[in-house]
């Protein structure tokens, strides 16, 4: 799964990397502890014209009567995304990229202690998660919301967690965004074994109120 991430790339740099026109309401960066329900930067494509825009992290299906009265959908499982009523239309029609500098995952010890890890691309490039999005409108309130697509972890990540975000390579962005025809389903798989790098970080990040660049600093494993 993916339940917390960091985004440190400036807006103009993100716009250049993803060849997208930036909106004026993008979330502040750097943010070393992006939590669910926060605004995140996303990339969408409108007939080949890409837009860098803000969305609420936490997918809200159109039939929800409120944003807090049902489970918070921050991830969508690749194995069932095309079948789940909440996600199947978005999977076909509303796919996006969700940029991140890195994301956090936790291993849990037998005594319940949670040990956090920070995961990035080994080559230093930004991560581009496969995402889906949905407009939600109810009683005059309107939100644009998104979820990260996840799949089973590869062998390198499995000791940390059994799920992993779908990380898309740059050459696959057009297909996921609907710019290169059909067949995006084949992209919903774990990244190669050598794509990601991970290191232990301080348990300070266990708090969703923590902030600052020290959250991603490596520490010796204990």
pLDDT value of position 67: 85
| pLDDT tens sequence across 14-38 | 999 999 999 999 999 999 999 999 9
User: What is the band of 87 on the pLDDT scale with cuts at 50, 70, 90?
Assistant: very high
137 within domain boundaries? yes
Rounded to a whole number, what is the largest CA-CA distance in the chain? 52
| Average pLDDT rounded to a whole number, residues 170-199 | 96
Q: Is the pLDDT of residue 146 over 60?
A: yes
Output the CA torsion sign for 53, 63, 76, 83. Answer: negative
184 within domain boundaries? yes
**Phi, psi dihedrals of residue 78, rounded to the nearest 5°:** -60, -35
Rg of the chain over Cα atoms, rounded to whole angstroms, equals 17
* Residues of the domain holding 119: 5-216
pTM beyond cutoff 0.85: yes
222 within domain boundaries? no
Give the CATH number for residue 153: 3.90.1680.10
221 within domain boundaries? no
Q: What percent of the chain has pLDDT over 90?
A: 87
Asked if residue 121 lies in contact with residue 197, where contact means CB atoms within 8 angstroms, the answer is yes
Q: Which amino acids are annotated catalytic? A: 2, 105
Asked if residue 167 lies in contact with residue 127, where contact means CB atoms within 8 angstroms, the answer is yes
Instruction: Give the chain's mean pLDDT.
Output: 94
User: Structural domain tally of the chain?
Assistant: 1
Q: Strand, helix or coil at 197?
A: strand
pLDDT value of position 71: 87
39 within domain boundaries? yes
Q: Is the pLDDT of residue 222 over 70?
A: no
Structure tokens at 28: 């502040």
Q: Is the pLDDT of residue 56 over 60?
A: yes
């Amino acid at each position: 799964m993916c339940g917390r991430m960091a985004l440190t790339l400036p807006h103009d740099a993100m716009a250049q990397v993803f060849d997208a026109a930036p909106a004026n309401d993008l979330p502040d960066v750097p943010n070393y502890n992006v939590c669910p329900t926060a605004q995140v930067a996303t990339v969408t494509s409108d007939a080949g014209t890409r837009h860098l825009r803000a969305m609420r992290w936490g997918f809200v299906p159109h039939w929800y009567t409120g944003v807090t009265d049902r489970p918070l959908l921050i991830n969508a499982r690749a194995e069932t995304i095309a079948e789940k009523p909440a996600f199947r239309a978005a999977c076909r029609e509303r796919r996006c990229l969700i940029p991140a500098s890195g994301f956090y995952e936790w291993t849990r010890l037998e005594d319940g202690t949670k040990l956090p890890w920070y995961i990035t691309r080994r080559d230093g490039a930004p991560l581009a998660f496969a995402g889906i999005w949905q407009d939600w409108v109810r009683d005059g309130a309107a939100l644009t919301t998104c979820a990260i697509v996840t799949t089973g972890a590869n062998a390198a990540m499995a000791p940390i967690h059994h799920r992993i975000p779908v990380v898309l390579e740059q050459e696959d962005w057009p297909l996921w965004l609907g710019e290169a025809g059909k067949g995006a389903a084949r992209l919903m798989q774990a990244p190669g074994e050598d794509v990601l790098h991970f290191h232990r970080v301080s348990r300070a990040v266990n708090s969703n109120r923590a902030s600052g660049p020290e959250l991603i600093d490596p520490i010796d494993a204990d």
